[in-house]
Amino acid sequence: MKTLSELLTFWHEQAGKLGQQTLQHIALTAAALLLGVAVGVPLGLWLTRRPRWAPAVLGAAGVLQTVPSIALLGFLIPWLGIGATPAILALLLYSLLPIIRNTVAGIQAVPPAVVEAARGLGFTDGQLLRRVELPLALPVIMAGIRTATVINVGVATLAAYVAAGASASLSSAALRLIIQ
């Protein structure tokens, strides 16, 4: 009980910081996610046109996913220093696999008959993509982005260790309090 009241007091004292750091946490996650979509969706689309590359690219993204987040940040700090950049890059790398994989799966799930008919009617490749493949694959791609979001919100907490300023620094302070 004592710990709980101390924790509440701590939160109360830090209320201003808590709000600010929550915003930073969201901004960090959102930035990484936007980048993840900007890189992952085109990469996934490219893989549907060059299926030979799919195992290699998905494999690489899968390997990235298995690297523990603290270790990944550890690798990035000597290279990028500390701050928001390594944090965002780490989050971006974690968001890639679900986004690429779901983009590929979504496009491949479009019935071949629909694609053949659309081509036969005279859709260009671009029209086929924009008007047929993307709209039909959208629910699957969105599911991948959601998965990436969940992963990122969790991993962003660790960004504190690279001093990216997220609410993680507060969380770790609170954590220290509890461990004591």
**Residues near other proteins (CB under 8 A):** 111, 113-124, 127, 131-132, 135-136
The smaller minimum CB distance to other proteins, of residues 80 and 115, is found at: 115
CB 136 to other proteins: min, Å: 6
The smaller minimum CB distance to other proteins, of residues 71 and 113, is found at: 113
CB 131 to other proteins: min, Å: 8
CB 110 to other proteins: min, Å: 9
The smaller minimum CB distance to other proteins, of residues 115 and 143, is found at: 115
The smaller minimum CB distance to other proteins, of residues 35 and 136, is found at: 136
3-state SS track over the chain:
CHHHHHHHHHHHHCHHHHHHHHHHHHHHHHHHHHHHHHHHHHHHHHHHHCHHHHHHHHHHHHHHHHCCHHHHHHHHHHHHCCCHHHHHHHHHHHHHHHHHHHHHHHHHCCCHHHHHHHHHHCCCHHHHHHHHHHHHHHHHHHHHHHHHHHHHHHHHHHHHHHCCCCCHHHHHHHHHHHHC
CB 96 to other proteins: min, Å: 28
CB 41 to other proteins: min, Å: 19
The smaller minimum CB distance to other proteins, of residues 7 and 114, is found at: 114
CA–centroid distance for 1 within its chain: 37
